[in-house]
């Protein structure tokens, strides 16, 4: 247990499990109901409000985090299934006070409005850029045997699981492209 005073009493038939997560570089141990999503463990149990609860059905991408280096929807991931995993949220991308290049690009390109979806957009963009660097094709990759070119269509396809209610896509795509073309 982590001594968390905000912990709710478990349901009478709940099964509890102790897990450990490496969250933004810090090891965190906690006891959770085995039905707890990673999103709820992060937000409600560990106080990390970077990933947002949008739809809670895996349809909006606001809860996107990097889990062992891969982007995932934390609302669809059971915390107990990821015991020992490394979780990186948008809050944990900066190193020694220096913003991650994607975070800086979002600022430079004014790629957000209300900001609610921004942490998920940023984590997804980091994951999408890593996938492209590895040569992973997307649905719109013209030649699946060569490295994907980060066109607007390629970026939009890779980011299609992250919705922005404000419609800031006009600035999100160029922000991601600027980082992808720099690498």
Four-way CATH pick for 101-182: 1.10.150.120, 1.10.1040.10, 1.10.268.10, 3.30.450.40: 1.10.150.120
The three-class DSSP label of residue 47 is coil
Whether residue 5 is predicted with pLDDT greater than 50 in this model: the reply is no
Query: In percent, how much of the chain has pLDDT > 70?
Result: 93
Q: What is residue 43's DSSP assignment? A: I
State yes or no: pLDDT of 60 exceeds 80. Answer: yes
Going from the C-alpha of 135 to that of each of 6, 77, 130, 179, the distances in angstroms are 44, 26, 9, 16
Per-residue model confidence (pLDDT) at position 3 = 46
Question: Is 16-92 in CATH node 3.10.20.30?
Answer: yes
């Amino acid at each position: 247990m982590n001594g968390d005073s905000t912990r709710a009493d478990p349901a009478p038939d709940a099964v509890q499990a102790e897990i450990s997560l490496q969250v933004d570089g810090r090891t965190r141990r906690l006891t959770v109901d085995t039905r707890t999503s990673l999103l709820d463990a992060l937000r409600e149990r560990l106080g990390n409000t970077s990933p947002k609860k949008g739809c809670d059905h895996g349809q909006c991408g606001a809860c996107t985090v990097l889990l062992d280096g891969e982007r995932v929807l934390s609302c669809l991931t059971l915390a107990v299934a990821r015991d020992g995993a490394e979780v990186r949220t948008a809050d944990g991308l900066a190193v020694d006070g220096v913003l991650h290049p994607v975070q800086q690009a979002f600022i430079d390109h004014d790629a957000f409005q209300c900001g609610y979806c921004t942490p998920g957009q940023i984590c997804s963009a980091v994951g999408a850029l890593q996938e492209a660097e590895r040569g992973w094709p997307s649905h719109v990759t013209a030649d699946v045997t060569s490295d994907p070119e980060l066109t607007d269509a390629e970026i939009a396809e890779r980011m299609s699981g992250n919705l922005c209610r404000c419609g800031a896509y006009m600035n999100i795509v160029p922000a991601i492209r600027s980082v992808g073309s720099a690498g």
